[in-house]
Amino acid sequence: MAERVIPLVDQRLAVRQPFFSPVPAQAGGLLSDQLGRSLHDLRISVTDRCNFRCSYCMPKEVFNSHYPYLPHGDLLTFEEITRLASLFVQLGVRKIRLTGGEPLLRKNLEILIEQLAALKTPDGFPLDLTLTTNGSLLKRKAQTLKDAGLKRVTVSLDGLNDEVFRQMNDVDFPVADVLEGIAAARAVGLGVDADGRPSGIKINMVVKRGTNDDQIVPMARHFRGSGMALRFIEYMDVGNTNGWRMNEVLPSAEVLQRLQADHGLVALSAQQPGETAERWGWCGPDGRHDPSLGEIGLISSVTHAFCGDCNRARLSTEGKLYLCLFAHQGYDLRSLMRQGASDDTLLSAISGTWSQRDDRYSELRGQGVALPETPRIEMSYIGG
């Protein structure tokens, strides 16, 4: 396949100075953005590299050997990440998700996990610390991750059929190895929430119509009753390189129809505000919800935007704060830190920037509002 030219405008260079809140940020105080949304989740990208080339995220023609990945010195160190994370926690963050790129490619990641696992909320509770991975290195690393203090994992898996899976990851990676990784994660007990209660491993499947939609029902059958929640994600128009087209999106409503044609499901209520997935529980033979069979989630980022209660901030691999997955620019926290900013200055920068936030890209797109054509940041850089 021909190599595609990397867009001339590198969105990683679009950087802004943070806003600073006029009053010193109060530890433990709840932040609110322009639309009244508080800050609860922090997604931290620990690398912009990956060993897969999923066409919806890092298409091979763009992310090839000529692609300018971030140089090592640009990456936040573990100490810098932990310092920022602890400040985010002071400002309301209760859940941290490590992501990438492929987070398990970051060398010595378990050291970072140990540092993050030691953080406590202002009332002394541990954080909900989790990680999203493509599962390729999980078999090897599950025990070390667990020992370091990781609570849960989400594993991305786009099909059970080996041929389809190899096509989705585009590096000929066999599905059996990811399944072994998932089994290893279960075996070491990677599946508990912040309070130590069992809360199974999550499996994410991005659905692309015409490519892996024949895997919806087999995946559902495989994970039903397994104690793991399978979540179907609508293929999103993130970044600028995946050649997204609406006709490749299979709306969640259609996913649900296909699932219900195979097995009964009932709608479940949301557990927490800001939850991205609509939850459905499997029915038993009597047609009633059987909690022992577990649940599925539908993440309808395209057809049913959930910006209204989006409480997620994203920290890029080199320390920029992004307020939306579809952002055009980030706010540079690394420079501030490396210039010697105090914790109070950083708290003021994070809270000031969050309080200016009015992003609601998916909602506006869903309403047919014409959005600026400015290039967006890539998913592999900012983390999912």
> Which one of ligand SF4, ligand SAM, none is in contact with 360 (Cβ closer than 5 to 8 A by kind)?
ligand SF4
**From the list ligand SF4, ligand SAM, none, partner contacted by residue 325 (C-beta under 5 to 8 A by kind):** ligand SF4
Going from the C-alpha of 224 to that of each of 50, 73, 179, 196, 230, the distances in angstroms are 29, 44, 15, 23, 8
Q: Are strands 265-267 and 278-282 parallel, antiparallel or unpaired?
A: antiparallel
Q: Considering CB distances under 5 to 8 angstroms, the limit depending on partner class, which of ligand SAM, ligand SF4, none binds residue 11? A: none
Q: Is 298 in the site for ligand SF4 (CB under 6 A)?
A: no
100 touches ligand SF4 by CB under 6 A: yes
Query: Residues 123-152 vs ligand SF4: string with x where CB under 6 A?
Result: -----------x------------------
Report the nearest approach of ligand SF4 to the CB of residue 384 (Å): 7
Of 312-341, binders to ligand SF4 (CB under 6 A) are 324-326
Residue 260 C-alpha from the chain's centroid: 27
* 55 binding partner (options ligand SAM, ligand SF4, none; Cβ < 5 to 8 Å by kind): none
Cα dist. 164→49, 101, 221, 263, 274 in Å? 23, 21, 17, 23, 32
* Binding at 242: pick from ligand SF4, ligand SAM, none (beta carbon under 5-8 Å per type): ligand SAM
Query: Cβ of residue 248: shortest distance to ligand SF4, in angstroms?
Result: 16
Residues that bind ligand SAM in the complex, under the rule CB under 6 A: 50, 56-57, 99-100, 102, 132-134, 156, 204, 206, 233, 235-236, 238, 242, 379-380, 383-384
Q: Of residues 87, 142, 310, 350, which one binds ligand SF4 by CB under 6 A?
A: 310
**CA atoms of 269 and 50, how far apart (whole Å):** 35
Interactions with ligand SF4, residue window 354-383 (CB under 6 A):
359-362, 380
Among 101, 159, 200, 239, binds ligand SF4 (CB under 6 A): 101
Distance in Å, CB of 378 to ligand SF4, minimum: 9
Q: Which is nearer to ligand SAM, 54 or 349 (CB)?
A: 54
In the complex, what is the shortest distance from the CB of residue 267 to ligand SAM, in angstroms, rounded to a whole number?
23
238 binds, among ligand SF4, ligand SAM, none (CB under 5 to 8 A by kind): ligand SAM
Under the rule (CB under 6 A), what is the footprint of ligand SF4?
50, 52-54, 57-58, 100-102, 134, 156, 305-307, 310, 324-326, 359-362, 380
